[in-house]
A and B are shown apart, each in its own frame.
Chain A
Amino acid sequence: MPKRTDIKKIMIIGSGPIVIGQACEFDYSGSQACKALKEEGYTVVLINSNPATIMTDPDLADRTYIEPITPAAVEKILEIEKPDAILPTVGGQTALNTALALYNNGVLDRMKIELIGANIEAIKKAEDRELFKEAMLKIGIDLPRSGFASTIDEALVLLEDIKLPLIIRPAFTLGGTGGNFVYNKEDFVDLVRKGLDESPISQVLLEESIAGWKEYELEVMRDKADNVVIICSIENLDPMGIHTGDSITVAPQQTLTDAEYQNMRDMSINIIREIGVDTGGSNIQFAVNPDTGRVIVIEMNPRVSRSSALASKATGFPIAKIAAKLAVGYTLDELNNDITRETPASFEPTIDYVVVKVPRWNFEKIQGADTRLGPQMKSVGETMAIGRTFKESLQKAMRSLEIDRYGLGSDANLKLEGMIHRQPLFQQRDLLENGLRTPHDLRIFYVKLALKLGWSVDRIFELTKIDRWFLWQIEELVDAEKTFVEDVRMNGLTVSNVLKMKKLGYSDRQLGYLTDAENLSRIYEKGSDSQKEYSTAVKNREKTIRDFRNANSIKPGYRLVDTCAGEFEAYTPYFYSAYDDCDEARKTDTKKVMILGGGPNRIGQGIEFDYCCCHASFALKELGIESIMVNSNPETVSTDYDTSDKLFFEPLTLEDILHIYEREKPEAVIVQFGGQTPLKLSRQLLENGVNIAGTSPDSIDRAEDRERFSDVVKKLGLNQPENGIAFSQEDALRVAGQIGYPVLARPSYVLGGRAMCIIYDQESLIEYIKTAVELTPEHPVLIDKFLEDAAEIDVDAICDGKDVYIGAIMRHIEQAGIHSGDSACVIPPLGIKEEIIEEITRQTAALALELNVIGLINIQFALKNDVVYVLEVNPRASRTVPFVSKAKGIPLAKIALKVMLGAKLKDFGLSDRFETPYISVKEAVLPFNKFPGVDVVLSPEMKSTGEVMGIARDFGEAFYKSALAAGDCLPLEGSIFVSLNERSRSDLAPDLLMMYKEGFKFLATGGTAEFLRSNGMECSTVNKVSEGRPNILDLLKNNEIDMIFNTPRGKAPKSDSNLIRQVALRYKIPIITTGSAIKAAVEGIIRMKNCSITVRALQDYHAEVKQHLLKK
């Protein structure tokens, strides 16, 4: 059956901003779907609010709408585009929920638009837990004892039957938001209430606790002829009770016999049929009782998922691409397996390696976050490693995480080990026991440490419920280390003992440490003064191992990911390293360039950098140069085997990169595009003879080293906020005293503002040094004068060494002091005088040329009293490159890549700096709802996980749309609770007055109320929490407040303000915490008061820019 010809135009709904639980895996699936459908000749209309995605590149879909993914916006697009069908299964839960809403409000029927990939019945059956349960019971599949409740009373009745402990899950949410274990009756009522609240349909599922059971996932595909195949099985190392997104997982499954696995396969096939997913992929999760083998189904996602992206990368089978083709009518046997070319897609991939995925958490960025893991996902990214054995993969995955680990322990990172060893014995035991019993981000290292200290596998199993098979595997690593150390003591390093360890996945760093552990530990124990000595010693040991290997030709070969375990010849160049006997990477003699990716997503380094890496690869293609991609993030487009000429799925460490470099001998390596990960390695790469394309590592250092950078600024006669560097606490106090509070303090060399803080007095500075940073001579702290209420301006530019091209000048909406990644910004830079713009342009060029930048440069300026200050220069791709590219229609990353390889800016025919005839706003999306109890105030420390974009004719609408896309529906009428610090009051008075005149009601406490009244605005006074009931919290909880304007005092008040923000977050009440954002929101609300949002395709905006430039 060939593809359908009755449909011509298809809309794809994307997943919106990157949030915990829904990340760039949906850029991968959405991009694949766009390409697949276009390849088949369909016209593709795309909606996604996330500008950092590859899928929203204007040449990927035919019509690209960067608009808020709300039913209303989608309806508008449908009316303009009139597609025949919608594919809702490649954009995560967001797309499914949106499609469901469009069905429920009758839009789909009215416009006669068909859903392809999954029908409404199937979506409902899979997503609505009651219908799901019914369906499972019908086909005889076991489930946990459970029931639904829409009220507290209903829940209490169910409790009798299900019994504690149990788990509460709100229906229809992302990433298990609000899922909680309940162990006692008191918590029960609270958590049920919370769950009802989290659920968009006010319903919770109460479920028998199956914590500690084995957890499995199967990725299933079905075509319309009812052919069903299983693409991949996944076994979770962490047992049930920890969200699968927070679990270390392994593919394929390891500990089920074929009979047990086939039983699960049969169940999966029956489930996808019963649920009625006609075409496409689904993910089905199972739990297995480790003692009895009882299998129960946990849930089914009738769409591609995070796990399907992982399964695609793990097997080489492109699930989303095939799903898109099945949705338009193909059957599996009509499609070819890209990798083998000759065999059809109607098969089940088989692999001859082991894949390990490890989540990447970012708790250090979110102060006060609970690091315990449970049913609610908390990780912000993940990394995947491929090795021939589980042990090898696990070690590779650990060093791919980029948390300063070079394998599973024994890697010279003695933080944990040192901490445990320093305790008296009885406390050691308690610490280890707690570290094992309570799941948390570092538990796997505790497992290794406990085994190293001689704890039995059984004891660790009792504490962790991690299947003994995995524990034994880790124990084998511990044993191998002992044997190795002994052997080296007797015989020195030998080919045999080193090779044996390399096959187990050990890095040179680990082997270096193991062979000199006593000496290194002694240096380490000397304390912080010896840090430099320690790190030099560690690096020397690492080099000793590397030199030994080089002298003895011990190096890895590259194996193919081929979907078929070698049964057929494979054509797709997708490789991983292994210390086996052969190398399958084909030798090519063409000109090649290697791109280093960004590794696992984390706050501050996310999809934006993957976008840039992909563009580097596309640009290489245009230049006819072979592209080699190195990355370890399975969620991304960069690790799609279709993106580059060669893909090496490898950890981004010096050792692993050098192996590929030596094997491939590329002309140059790109370190500018993958964020801080490759940049940090550039100096060491250079020392090892690697040719770094573009800006030299020395220039990078000049920009990043504060002292060297200050010299640059001085030399150019530019302004910088007064600053100093502190190597000790005394230093810090002296420097701060000299330049005057408030100051901005931060450790040197950071990305995303780690531990960056605005400090208002000496007392706070002392506390900061004690708690937030390690201040040592090797880790100095930078102290800058903090420019209060300055406007912040961001510039993205390209320099070829001679000319400088300004991509865009952006004005931040939040004032300086809020991390640029967390603040909204706008193109064109509204409200900045032309002469300031010119000055910024001049300074940008001066800095780029002085630093001899070849490629991209990002500069952050502050503007106070018409004086321009240089805050920071990053000679690399910045987070805003994709936003700028989309706002202005300029492929910045591609141009930069070409410049880095020698092209001149003047040859691109670029027009002079111009401003668009429309407004683009970028807004950050914050993860606070996943971290209850954490204060939601913005600071210099970046916390956002994603971003959205709003484009419109005027700023008001663009800002309103960006807020909407970020999940904040700003109210157009109702009551606003206003609580302002003294500083912001007078500045905001006119804005508040406008709102007041538009009919908004104000509520305020004490001081703010007085201020409002004295400015002619009536308001009701509300009790503070301490002033008796009903207080402000009660009003929030009773939905009597529609929005909150709250500018906190400089020193975070720990009282009301914090509580109010907590409650607002829980009740999804928009809350705005900076003066400038309040102004923007007011403008947006007043603009939108009497009209609805407009939608327009990016292609049309870009065409308008072209027209505009022609006219000029």
Chain B
Amino acid sequence: MGKKAYLILEDGSVFEGESFGYEGENLGEVVFNTSLSGYQEVLTDPSYCGQIVTMTYPMIGNYGVNPEDIESSKVQVAGFAVKEYAKRHSNFRSSSSLGDYLKEYRIPAIEGIDTRKLTLHIRDKGALKGGIFFSTEGAAERLKAHPSMNGLDLASKVSTGYVYNFGDHSKDKPLIAVMDFGVKTNILRLLDSHGFSVRVYPGSMSFAEVLKDGVKGVFLSNGPGDPGAVQCAPALVADIVKSQIPCFGICLGHQLLGIGLGAKTYKLKFGHRGGNQPVKNLLTDKVEITSQNHGFAVDMDSFKKVKDLEMTHLNLNDNTVEGFRHKKLPIFCVQYHPEAAPGPHDSEYLFRQFREMVK
């Protein structure tokens, strides 16, 4: 039996359970993810930096972890909360248990809590600050002192500090720049497999420097935190516009393009996190089942006022902006995750689209 642990929220709610990860406290924004599988990808997704993730699916750890299904080089979440941790795992690829994996990366995790109650609480109150503690004492003060997600620039924390090449580079694969705000590895894998020579740059790097490498396209990555707090973004977008080179953005990248091109972003009550969100492609009228992970969104009203932009994708659940393109420039982006991992592969065509755009 694990050590007694508590998930405590800033509004004073306490969920008592048992630890199955690293036995150290940690704080973050508490969010829920509704994917039925894919916990390892979620844990290693840099966009979850600063967040304690609870899975709505109650049995987690069933298939262990493996060396392949990772979205970055480490576990990124601040903490993990589940209904029941499967102590023994079974899968032909698994190399370790989830509990050991979390311990290795010093991430606290709690099991045995009523995750549905927690989810309904977040749905009603919105995403809240919270922490995994091993004693209830002093938790309130520590939560109070913890910064809220609004106005938090976490992207710079998870971005690469140096330029590096990913995958196979060759002459017939045009070079593109990935501006890294917390990029998921599967985006890099897909760019590579779609025929790009991929070079990853720190998100804050001057675009003039990037252009010197002769890149033929630019990709703005996903990432954590408040898009409005990413200081370097407006200038970067302005430079991209000026350069007129093809640009594709995903998630935070989509939000940064929105802001840079004149729209606003806002924080959703509790965000979209899961693998079942219906999005309509307004150009084809087809519905895609998408993987999503975002707490902020491009504001519809402000977006509509920007005359050079055209909405291409709409969320059918809550009618939020899921994607847009520039009417004159080769710029397009989506809020959701066409790279999936975890989630359905319905939207991989966007990578093909980008490849066709880059000469």
Contact = CB atoms under 8 A, between A and B. Distances in A.
A343 B316 contact: yes
Contacts of B36: 233, 252-253, 261, 350-351
Contacts of B84: 388-389
Pairs A-B, 7 closest by C-beta atoms: A258-B38, A565-B56, A258-B342, A469-B90, A472-B88, A348-B276, A566-B119
Nearest to A265: B344
Given A348-B289, A354-B58, A565 B316 contact: no
B278 A352 contact: no
Contact of A257 (B37, B280, B317, B340): B37
A564 interface: yes
Contact of A258 (B37, B59, B276): B37
A1094 interface: no
A343 B63 contact: no
B37 A333 contact: no
A876 B343 CA distance: 51
A99 interface: no
A344 B90 contact: no
A254 interface: yes
Interface in A1075-1102: none
Given A346-B287, A347-B289, A352 B56 contact: yes
B123 A566 contact: yes
B34 interface: yes
5 contacts: A350-B57, A352-B83, A388-B83, A468-B90, A469-B89
A255 B63 contact: yes
A259 B278 contact: no
Interface string A421-440: 00000000000000000000
Contacts of A225: 285-287
A354 B123 CA distance: 22
Contacts of B160: none
A559 B116 contact: yes
B90 A472 contact: yes
Contact of A388 (B58, B123, B277, B285): B58
Nearest to B115: A352
Contacts of B343: 258, 262
Interface residues of A, number: 59
A347 B59 contact: no
Contacts of A230: 289
Contacts of B92: 289-293
* Interface footprint category on B: 35 or more
A1086 to B, nearest CB: 60
Contacts of B88: 468-469, 472
The CB with the most chain A CB atoms within 10 A, among B36, B114, B123, B317, is that of B36
B170 interface: no
A348 B90 contact: no
Contacts of A718: none
Interface string B55-72: 011110011001011000
Given A225-B285, A343-B316, A567-B123, A258 B62 contact: no
A623 interface: no
A292 B92 CA distance: 7
B63 A567 contact: no
Nearest to A252: B36
Interface string A564-603: 1111110000000000111010000000000000000000
B120 interface: yes
B114 A582 contact: yes
A292 B341 CA distance: 21
Given A259-B68, A469-B62, A582-B114, A566 B56 contact: yes
A347 B83 contact: no
A467 interface: yes
B34 A344 contact: no
Given A258-B41, A258-B69, A582-B117, A347 B278 contact: yes
A581 B117 contact: yes
Interface string B257-269: 0000000000000
The CB with the most chain A CB atoms within 10 A, among B38, B115, B287, is that of B287
A1023 interface: no
Nearest to B288: A227
A353 interface: yes
B345 interface: yes
Contacts of B317: 342-344, 347, 568
Nearest to B65: A257
A226 interface: yes
B141 to A, nearest CB: 25
B289 A352 contact: no
B274 interface: yes
Contact of A254 (B59, B117, B285): B59
The CB with the most chain A CB atoms within 10 A, among B91, B93, B280, is that of B91
Contact of B316 (A292, A346, A566): A346
Contacts of A333: 278, 280, 287, 316
A266 interface: yes
A821 to B, nearest CB: 42
